[in-house]
Structure 1
Amino acid sequence: MIDVLGYAFVQNALWGALCTSVICGIIGTLVVTNRMVFVAGGIAHSVYGGVGIAAFFGLPILVGAMGFSVLCAVILAYMLLFAKERLDSLIGSLWAFGMALGIILVELTPGYNKDFMGYLFGSILSITENDIYLMLSFGFFLLLFVGLNYRIILGISYDSEFTRLQGVNTRIFSVVLMVLIALGIVISMRSVGIILIVALLSIPAYCSEIFTNSLAKMMLGASLISLLSMLCGIAVAYFYDLQAGASIVMVLAVFSFILAFVHYFKKLQTI
């Protein structure tokens, strides 16, 4: 087992797991506390439209994915503020449109190959040093942003109306949070992929929420749960030659079921 750690791609995967866990732990907490799991899912699946645009026009994949996902995030943020009654329809439309656009443009791209499937299902064992530097940079920025604006984020997450009455421009902050969610999804998609990223955003935060009573502790708990699940998933994928993204999500799902069962069993005993 120790010999495996000597491989560069395994070391990169472990660093990628650490960075992804921090990013998804923080963003996932914001998604769960603001009840935006479906919104995050819409943004995640629309990202593939950006992948297709970048591939078709010969742009860097991250540039296309970030640009398109940020555009979708801004649209959804304003719909969330001004047209909540039609938000689910718009999310479904963007979800389908983004995936369809990406698939069509990828197939129309000269020299199309199956490597694009890695963006759908992830490929953490093929993460490069450049990917790690990008994730580290975004992770530090995310920690700094949350640290400097923690009280505002706390207010928006639990009582946005009261926070607005305190003179905070909650609309601008809501748009910023949506953009950060979009960027976090794009930067983390190399780990578990566009299709499975929603699990990494929602399940650890949900599990952490069961045992914590503060936003900061919830972020920390979600990050630790994500990291543990990703390490176990990488090990399973490596030794059994399975798809890494799916292995991580399966480990995460089993862990969450056990955690939730133990919690509610103890809760029943106290009644």
Structure 2
Amino acid sequence: MEFLDLLSYTFFQNALLGSLFASIACGIIGTYVVVRRLVFISGGITHASLGGIGMGFYFGWNPIFAAMIFSILSAFGIEWLSSRQGVREDSAIGSFWSLGMAIGIIFIYLKPGFAPNLSDYLFGNILTITTPDIIYLAVLSLVLIIVFLLFGRQILFAAFDTDFAKTRNLPVNLIKYAMMMGIAITIVLSIRLVGIVLLMSILTVPQMTANLFTSNFVKMILLSVIIGFFGCIVGLFLSAVLDVPSGVFIIFTQIIVFLASRLIVKMNQRKKRQKLAV
């Protein structure tokens, strides 16, 4: 099956749109996660979301909506425990990580029968994305773009120099909790892309690749979006052809891009050292 043939199908067009908006949202939030070194926190929130999905299946709620509420509360809980209660951040993350997965597994097993489409939430299958999902991702992307255009400097001040931010009368705690909520929402709305198991990678691998070429925050975001969307396109095509969850190929492609980019950068650095030596 050729790529142009796939473009004629509505489900594939929806998947491309969903991939584009998810790449934008993950590119923005993922860059913040990487530069703030919050990768472990994003992993904790990602896996804690299973608790909301399990409760959604059991009580008949929308699993994505339930996962979003659960993830936001988990993100706030991690921030509150680590900053206000003297609990080590890694301990707080591990607690909510384990708690969310335990609650999710309990409710999934309590649900009579087999939970429908559970593998789509665990491993991702963006070919099943719906129009409402696309709208949610589009709105999220637009909100994140506006927020970072208007308040990007303040967000970075609060992230990297808390004392300076306080001298400028910036609401540091509000900014931190708002960004944690943004991370949680982005994670949940991107679950269909690569699934809970692999979602942490899409928030880190494109950003790591971009960071090989630039340390500028805005340029990192733009490169992350491009790399993420490229991985989605390749992953979607291979997923449709081989009938394998899209998340596996998306992450695989992005890791290959990272390794190839790292090799190119290393070779260029070696050539520059050789020229200087001469």
**For the superposition of Structure 1 and Structure 2, which TM-score range results when normalised by the shorter chain?**
over 0.9
Name the structure 1 match of 2:127.
125
Give 1:84 deviation, angstroms.
6.6
One-letter amino acid matched to 2:132: N
One-letter amino acid matched to 2:122: L
Q: Distance in 1 between matches of 2:81 and 2:214?
A: 31
Q: Distance in 1 between matches of 2:247 and 2:11?
A: 15
Name the structure 2 match of 1:212.
214
Give 1:85 deviation, angstroms.
5.9
Task: Select 2:189's aligned residue among 172, 187, 190.
Answer: 187
Contact 1:33 1:157 in 2 (8 A): no
What is the TM-score with the length of structure 2 in the denominator? 0.93
Superimposed CA distance per residue, residues 78-104 of structure 1 (whole angstroms, 9 cap, x where no aligned partner):
234345761111211211221121111
Name the structure 2 match of 1:135.
137
Q: Distance in 2 between matches of 1:80 and 1:147?
A: 29
Q: Distance in 2 between matches of 1:17 and 1:84?
A: 39
Give 1:114 deviation, angstroms.
4.6
Q: Distance in 1 between matches of 2:91 and 2:56?
A: 26
Task: Select 1:25's aligned residue among 5, 24, 27.
Answer: 27
Are 1:67 and 2:75 counterparts?
Answer: no
Name the structure 1 match of 2:56.
54
After superposition, where does 1:55-204 map in structure 2 within 5 Å? 55-82=57-84, 86-204=88-206
Structure 2: unaligned runs, 5 residues or longer: 274-278
Give 1:171 deviation, angstroms.
1.4
One-letter amino acid matched to 2:42: A
Kindly tell me: are residues 82 and 260 of structure 1, through their superposed partners in 2, closer, same or farther at Cα, counting changes over 3 Å?
farther
Are 1:40 and 2:46 counterparts?
Answer: no
Runs of 4 or more above 4 Å deviation: none
Q: Distance in 2 between matches of 1:202 and 1:84?
A: 28
Give 1:149 deviation, angstroms.
0.6
Q: Which has the larger radius of gyration?
A: 2
After superposition, where does 1:241-256 map in structure 2 within 5 Å? 241-256=243-258
Contact 1:47 1:68 in 2 (8 A): yes
Superimposed CA distance per residue, residues 124-153 of structure 1 (whole angstroms, 9 cap, x where no aligned partner):
111111111111111111111111111112
Contact 1:154 1:215 in 2 (8 A): no
What is the TM-score with the length of structure 1 in the denominator? 0.95
Worse-superposed segment, 176-185 or 92-101: 92-101
Worse-superposed segment, 153-162 or 87-96: 153-162
Q: Distance in 1 between matches of 2:158 and 2:215?
A: 16
Q: Distance in 1 between matches of 2:165 and 2:210?
A: 25
What's the % identity of the aligned pairs? Answer: 34
Contact 2:121 2:196 in 1 (8 A): yes
Give 1:240 deviation, angstroms.
2.4
Q: Distance in 2 between matches of 1:33 and 1:155?
A: 13
Q: Distance in 2 between matches of 1:184 and 1:222?
A: 15
RMSD of aligned Cα (Å): 1.5
Worse-superposed segment, 186-195 or 153-162: 153-162
State the aligned residue count.
271
One-letter amino acid matched to 2:211: E
Contact 1:25 1:219 in 2 (8 A): yes
Query: What secondary structure does 1:6 align onto?
Result: coil
Superimposed CA distance per residue, residues 214-264 of structure 1 (whole angstroms, 9 cap, x where no aligned partner):
211111111111001111111122222222111111111111111112112
Q: Distance in 2 between matches of 1:240 and 1:100?
A: 33
Contact 1:78 1:175 in 2 (8 A): no
Q: Distance in 2 between matches of 1:161 and 1:270?
A: 40
